[in-house]
Amino acid sequence: MSELAGSVGTVQRAPALTRADRDTEARVWLQALRGSGAEREDAAARLHGLLLRAARFELNRRSGMLAGVRRDTLEDLVMQSADDALAAILRKLDDYRFESRFTTWAYKFAILHAATHVRRLAWRGRELPVESADWDALAGTGSTEAIVERRELLDAVREAVRTVLTPHQRDVLVALAVNGVPIDVLAERLGTTRNALYKTLHDARRKLRTNLAERGLA
């Protein structure tokens, strides 16, 4: 990751603007990006350059997850992140609400996509755990009484997970909530979407809460 360290240490902070100047700047960006021809291409190219810097910043920040990754692979991640961010921004221009500087709003897309690519790379080739290796470890530390109480509750949760949830709900819940698999990684492996997994997770938690409440363990 050291190869990228010299490219950008931080995302450079833009100079402060008045609210009026900030809104004017944003309208210039929006008009150009919604336009056509050379004006749109120039605006998209300038924005892409900003997104590249933001993506490099995020990869540097997550360098601990990228040990041993080749420089050309890292550069590909930067480019993919900026490309994906630009495409997302162009689709969502109508979502911009003038609540922050336009470039600040845009940076967030690059950081989000860079983080997603890093997580996918970090999990590449790893088997996804769908069973919890040690439920007892979730009891944590503290007084003996507190640990015993948490273990009793975890035993109830584990039993509910086994008997109340569907196999798919169980796999999703354990992978995301217990084993910490990133949701975008799980979505890619299962050939589904983040939103579909969020719904599955929500339904699973609702079933568990209902079951525990019925057993006086809410």
What pLDDT shows up at residue 218? 62
Q: How many domains does the chain have?
A: 2
Same domain, 140 and 117: no
Same domain, 16 and 118: yes
What pLDDT shows up at residue 136? 57
| Coil, helix or strand at residue 198 | helix
- The answer, yes or no, to whether residue 127 has pLDDT greater than 90, is no
Give the model's confidence band at 131: pLDDT under 50 very low, under 70 low, under 90 confident, else very high: low
Buried b (16+ CB within 10 A) or exposed e, 44-55: eeebbebbbbbb
- The answer, yes or no, to whether residue 130 has pLDDT greater than 70, is no
Q: What is the mean pLDDT of residues 118-128?
A: 82
pLDDT in tens, 158-195: 888 889 999 999 999 988 888 888 999 999 989 999 99
d(CA 123, CA 121): 5
Q: Which CATH number is 194's domain given?
A: 1.10.10.10
d(CA 201, CA 177): 9
Q: Per the domain annotation, does 145 fall within a domain?
A: yes
Which domain covers residue 166, as residue numbers?
Answer: 135-214
Same domain, 109 and 146: no
Give the model's confidence band at 113: pLDDT under 50 very low, under 70 low, under 90 confident, else very high: very high
Give the model's confidence band at 128: pLDDT under 50 very low, under 70 low, under 90 confident, else very high: confident
- The answer, yes or no, to whether residue 12 has pLDDT greater than 80, is no
- The answer, yes or no, to whether residue 112 has pLDDT greater than 80, is yes
Same domain, 115 and 153: no
